[in-house]
């Protein structure tokens, strides 16, 4: 057996040293847009989200019958529909605040709104955290603005008493991180 091929013991050793990120090892840190600023008491109701995606666009060129691939520009896949799931409080204040933010962005009753291009200071921030709640990496989704306050489903027939949630969708232009990944120098 080749000694360079990792086996189960190597896996276990690395797992013990490095551990694993779990599906609950995240925190919504901030939502700060012109129309919406959530307090820490409201942010704690965030129950699910995802880390943003980043893609280098593939470019191709035919050369003597071969398809040659080379890197192109960057694309932030899903940046037009970034979803955060929130528990709804019993009095409905979270839902009302989210709806108000949507109407500040555009109010169909008055045909007015604050639909200017958002600045980089308008952001959504999510951190991955360790088992002691210490932030590992914070992702800042820049130029963020609210897009959709999704419907809430009630089900009287089932009557299970399940907690009610609401998905809220934001759009952003790009993200940066707190760990310096975004500021990596390009090799010459």
Count structural domains, the chain.
Answer: 1
Sort strands 135-142 and 123-129 into parallel, antiparallel or unpaired.
antiparallel
Q: Tell me whether residue 9 is in a domain.
A: no
Taking the C-alpha atoms of residue 184 and residue 129, their distance in angstroms, rounded to an integer, is 22
Q: Provide the domain limits for residue 172.
A: 19-183
Tell me the CATH number at 68. 2.30.110
Q: Tell me whether residue 4 is in a domain.
A: no
Q: Tell me whether residue 2 is in a domain.
A: no
Q: What is the pLDDT of residues 57-88, one digit of tens each?
A: 999 999 999 999 999 999 999 999 999 999 99
| In contact, 108 and 114? CB cutoff 8 Å | no
- CA dist 10 → 1, 22, 52, 99 (Å): 14, 21, 31, 51
Listed in order, strand segments (DSSP E) in 49-144 are 55-63, 66-75, 82-87, 123-129, 135-142
Q: Which of 178, 112, 115 is nearest to 145 (CA)?
A: 115
Sort strands 82-87 and 165-171 into parallel, antiparallel or unpaired.
antiparallel
Q: What is the pLDDT of residues 96-117, one digit of tens each?
A: 999 999 999 999 999 999 888 9
Start-to-end Cα distance in the chain = 41
Q: Tell me whether residue 14 is in a domain.
A: no
Q: Quickly state the pLDDT bin for 3 (edges 50, 70, 90).
A: low
Taking the C-alpha atoms of residue 6 and residue 19, their distance in angstroms, rounded to an integer, is 17
Q: Tell me whether residue 88 is in a domain.
A: yes
Q: Tell me whether residue 13 is in a domain.
A: no
Q: Tell me whether residue 1 is in a domain.
A: no
Q: Tell me whether residue 67 is in a domain.
A: yes
State pTM to two decimals.
Answer: 0.84
What lies within 8 Å, CB to CB, of 45 at 6+ separation is 86, 87, 88, 89, 94
- Dmax over Cα atoms in the chain, in whole Å? 75
What are the φ/ψ torsions at residue 10 (nearest 5 degrees)? -65, -40
Predicted pLDDT at 181: 59
> Looking at the predicted structure, is the pLDDT value of residue 134 above 50?
yes
**Which alpha helices (H) appear in 22-154, and where do they start and end?**
40-43, 93-105
């Amino acid at each position: 057996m080749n000694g360079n091929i990792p086996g189960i013991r190597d896996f276990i050793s690395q797992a013990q040293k490095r551990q694993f990120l779990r599906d609950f090892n995240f925190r919504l840190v901030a939502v700060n847009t012109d129309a919406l600023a959530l307090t820490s008491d409201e942010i704690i109701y965030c129950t699910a989200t995802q880390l943003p995606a980043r893609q280098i666009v593939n470019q191709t060129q035919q050369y003597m019958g071969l398809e040659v691939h080379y890197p192109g520009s960057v694309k932030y896949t899903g940046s037009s529909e970034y979803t955060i799931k929130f528990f709804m409080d019993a009095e409905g204040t979270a839902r009302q605040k989210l709806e108000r933010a949507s109407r500040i962005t555009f109010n169909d009753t008055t045909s007015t709104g604050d639909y200017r291009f958002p600045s980089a200071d308008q952001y959504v921030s999510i951190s991955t955290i360790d088992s002691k709640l210490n932030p590992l990496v914070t992702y800042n989704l820049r130029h963020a603005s609210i897009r959709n306050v999704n419907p809430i489903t009630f089900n009287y027939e089932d009557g299970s008493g399940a907690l009610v949630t609401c998905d809220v969708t934001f759009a952003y232009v790009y993200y940066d991180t707190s760990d310096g990944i975004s500021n990596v120098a390009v090799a010459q």
